[in-house]
């Protein structure tokens, strides 16, 4: 059984193809979304998902979130005296999804299709694959999120013949993909995006604005008053979700310690003001859309369906922006949170040759240009640093392409092929992916030809080969100068480093979440209510450890009842403490 996983910046989901349909696997809390958040308790135990999200509000230093943005870099996040990089943190989220899937399916889950933003570069894709391996999953395929989304739409609308545009605005990434559906064949025509733009930026802008009215800056406030800022960010997140549906909203300002006073100060934000504050972000939304249309050679009115994916496309300001560009109502017939995971499950079904998908054919493109550095001979001088494209962006995958370069000096014995990804004419504007050393070139005048072949497979993984025809020697790589490329031993070491971070026992996860949720509510209620409620939380924590089930159930029921009375019913999940 291969599961499909949407490993998101904000939320992750797992789906599986069953009885001819993709279905979402519920988390241990019975929800479809698992927040991509990892927290560590003082005891050293790990919390992933909802419980970690609640912990973020009360103890932000114990929690790591939004780490997908660091994917493919060496940057680490410190978490309970451990330094963890994005692949390691992501592996913890994947492990949690894996456990949920195993509980749901009643069998071991060893294989997965994982989605990434189309705009993810080579290093980010490898880091994602590594995260899967660290979680004990064989990653059968990495696929682009918009491709997965389109697959989910195409699966239900197989006889259609049209141009679809998928717009995916998640928490931290933005992707736009043009595709053509024709008798069950889904062909990706072009894709573009921005790897650092998402719904969280809209929240941050609003947060920055509110802090500004208080003569504060986000960066410095975050260091000085982390609890106040984390609670205020929560308020801004809530406001962001409502603005556009309501004309105006009052954002409550927490005290410096993160609690709300009896009647807190408020800052009032209108929908019109919000739209003004986020204008620069909407401009950034427009650019990749224009680029995809240009690359596909289509005008906005030639796009039959515009599909919205990702939680942030629920914002009315975003819908308005899309409506303006295309002069049509965007489609959101599938739940925008779930559609990528559902598509990943369909891809998993394609890989296992499931009968229900036999008539579907999928082609994808390489979303960026790949090439090598060359030296140009200009005005009698050799000038280094130019970029020679080998595979052009939006070429259909899989692809193998060749270019011939040559030695620049007489008797040059060695050439270092430096591989880059990007759209700039010069390498300094592009991303370095690694290098390949070609040695043993026989002495000869300058101009010995070296054939460079790039092969880019459906996983979006690049193989580079160099062939010196005069010697018949062939060199190939696997670009090795990046830490994302770990040896077996290094992977084992990374796994054992993660091993002493223990997952909370599954049957207790729910109680942990209730505890964190209650702690979070503590900051929302009035000082009068606070003390009595704090005592109930204390009793709950003690009852959890007491090992007396009937006593525990009693205290738990009492806590749930009190939460409801305070206006924070726990079972509603996305409740008002959200």
For binding to Mg ion (CB under 5 A), which residues are involved? 8, 170
For Mg ion, the nearest residue by Cβ is: 170
For position 422 contacting ligand ADP by CB under 6 A, the verdict is no
- SS3 (DSSP) at 341: helix
> Is 574 an annotated catalytic residue?
no
Task: Tell me, yes or no, if 168 is annotated catalytic.
Answer: yes
Q: Which stretch binds ligand ADP (CB under 6 A): 86-94, 307-315, 383-391, 460-468?
A: 307-315
CB atoms near residue 160 (< 10 Å): 15
Closest distance to ligand ADP from the beta carbon of 341 (Å)? 10
Residue from the set 241, 259, 393, 562 that interacts with ligand ADP by CB under 6 A: 241
Report the C-alpha gap between 395 and 460 in whole angstroms. Answer: 12
Please report how close the Cβ of residue 336 comes to Mg ion at its closest, in angstroms: 9
From 50, 88, 122, 168, the catalytic residue: 168
Q: What are phi and psi of 107, to 5 degrees?
A: -150, 165
> 183-202: which residues touch ligand ADP (CB under 6 A)?
198-200
Min CB(25)–ligand ADP separation in Å: 16
d(CA 342, CA 6) in angstroms, rounded, equals 9
Element (H, E) at 344: helix 339-351
Question: Element (H or E) spanning 63, and its range?
Answer: strand 63-64
Residue 290, number of CB atoms within 10 A of its CB: 13
Q: How many Å from the N-terminal Cα to the C-terminal Cα in the chain?
A: 34
Judged by CB under 6 A, does residue 88 bind ligand ADP? no
Angstrom distance (rounded) from CA 177 to CA 145? 10
Residue with Cβ nearer ligand ADP (113 or 312): 312
CB of 210 to ligand ADP, least distance (A): 16
Q: Contact 68/124 with Cβ under 8 angstroms?
A: no
Q: Which of 88, 122, 145, 235 is catalytic?
A: 145
The C-alpha angle with vertex 379 and arms to 378 and 381, in degrees rounded to 5, equals: 65
Question: Partners of 389 in the beta sheet?
Answer: 371
Closest approach, Cβ 9 to Mg ion, in A, equals: 7
Q: Which of 170, 288, 371, 422 binds ligand ADP (CB under 6 A)?
A: 170
Residue 145 falls in the annotated catalytic set: yes
Buried b (16+ CB within 10 A) or exposed e, 385-420: ebbebbbebbeebebebebebebbeeebeebebbbb
CA geometry: angle at 105 spanning 40 and 64, to 5°?
20
Q: Residue 171: which of ligand ADP, Mg ion, none does it interact with, CB under 5 to 8 A by kind?
A: ligand ADP
Partner in contact with 199, chosen from Mg ion, ligand ADP, none, beta carbon below 5 to 8 Å by kind: ligand ADP
Q: Which of 6, 305, 364, 524 is catalytic?
A: 6
Take residue 208 and report the two structure tokens written for it.
């920055």
Say whether 364 is catalytic: no
Total residues contacting ligand ADP (rule CB under 6 A)?
A: 21
CB of 335 to Mg ion, least distance (A): 12
Mark residues 315-334: x for contact with ligand ADP by CB under 6 A, - for none: x-------------------
Q: Is the peptide bond before 361 cis (omega within 30 degrees of 0)?
A: no
Which residue among 146, 193, 288, 311 contacts ligand ADP (CB under 6 A)? 311
The catalytic site residues sit at 6, 68, 145, 168
Q: Which residues bind ligand ADP (CB under 6 A)?
A: 8-11, 170-173, 198-200, 203, 237, 240-241, 310-312, 314-315, 337
């Amino acid at each position: 059984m291969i599961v499909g996983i949407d490993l998101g910046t904000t939320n992750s989901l797992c789906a599986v193809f069953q009885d001819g349909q993709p279905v979402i696997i519920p988390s241990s809390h019975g929800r479809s979304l698992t927040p991509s958040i990892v927290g560590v308790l003082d005891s050293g135990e790990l919390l992933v998902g909802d419980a970690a999200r609640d912990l973020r509000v009360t103890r932000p230093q114990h929690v790591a979130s939004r780490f997908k943005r660091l994917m493919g870099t060496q940057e680490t996040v410190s978490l309970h005296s451990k330094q963890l990089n994005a692949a390691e943190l992501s592996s913890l989220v994947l492990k949690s999804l894996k456990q949920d899937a195993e509980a749901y399916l009643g069998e071991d889950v060893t294989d997965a299709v994982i989605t990434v933003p189309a705009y993810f570069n080579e290093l980010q894709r490898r880091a994602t694959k590594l995260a899967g391996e660290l979680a004990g999953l064989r990653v059968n395929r990495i696929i682009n999120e918009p491709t997965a989304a389109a697959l989910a739409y195409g699966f239900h609308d197989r006889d259609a013949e049209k141009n679809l545009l998928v717009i995916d605005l998640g928490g931290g990434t933005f992707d736009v993909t043009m595709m053509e559906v024709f008798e069950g064949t889904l062909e990706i025509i072009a894709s573009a995006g921005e790897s650092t733009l998402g719904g969280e930026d809209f929240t941050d802008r609003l947060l920055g604005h509110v802090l500004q009215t208080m003569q504060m800056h986000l960066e410095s406030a975050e260091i000085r008053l982390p609890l106040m800022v984390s609670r205020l960010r929560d308020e801004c997140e809530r406001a962001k979700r409502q603005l556009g549906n309501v004309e105006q909203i009052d954002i409550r300002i927490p005290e410096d310690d993160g609690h709300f006073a009896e009647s807190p100060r408020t800052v009032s934000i209108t929908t019109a003001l919000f739209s003004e504050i986020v204008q620069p972000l909407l401009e950034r939304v427009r650019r990749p859309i224009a680029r995809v249309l240009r690359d596909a050679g289509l005008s906005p009115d030639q796009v039959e369906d515009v599909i919205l994916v990702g939680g942030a496309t629920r914002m009315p300001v975003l819908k308005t922006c899309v409506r303006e560009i295309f002069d049509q109502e965007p489609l959101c017939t599938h739940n925008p949170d779930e559609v990528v995971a559902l598509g990943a499950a369909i891809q998993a079904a394609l890989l296992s040759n499931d009968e229900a998908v036999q008539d579907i054919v999928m082609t994808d493109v390489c979303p960026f240009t790949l090439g090598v550095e060359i030296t140009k001979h200009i005005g009698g001088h050799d000038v280094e640093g130019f970029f020679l494209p080998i595979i052009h962006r939006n070429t259909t995958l899989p692809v193998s392409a060749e270019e011939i370069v040559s030695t620049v000096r007489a008797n040059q014995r060695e050439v270092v092929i430096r591989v880059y990804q990007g759209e700039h004419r010069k390498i300094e504007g592009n991303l370095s992916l690694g290098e390949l050393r070609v040695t043993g070139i026989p002495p000869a005048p300058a101009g010995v030809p070296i054939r460079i072949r790039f092969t880019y497979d459906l996983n979006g993984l690049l193989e580079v080969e160099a062939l010196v025809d005069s010697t018949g020697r062939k060199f190939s790589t696997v670009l090795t100068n990046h830490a994302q490329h770990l040896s077996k031993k290094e992977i084992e070491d990374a796994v054992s480093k993660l091993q002493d971070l223990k997952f909370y026992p599954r049957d207790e996860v729910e109680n942990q979440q209730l505890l964190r949720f209650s702690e979070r509510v503590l900051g929302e209620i009035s000082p009068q209510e606070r003390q009595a409620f704090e005592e109930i939380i204390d009793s709950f924590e003690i009852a959890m450890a007491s090992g007396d089930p009937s006593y525990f159930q009693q205290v738990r029921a009492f806590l749930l009842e009190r939460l409801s009375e305070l206006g924070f019913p726990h079972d509603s999940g996305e409740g008002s403490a959200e």
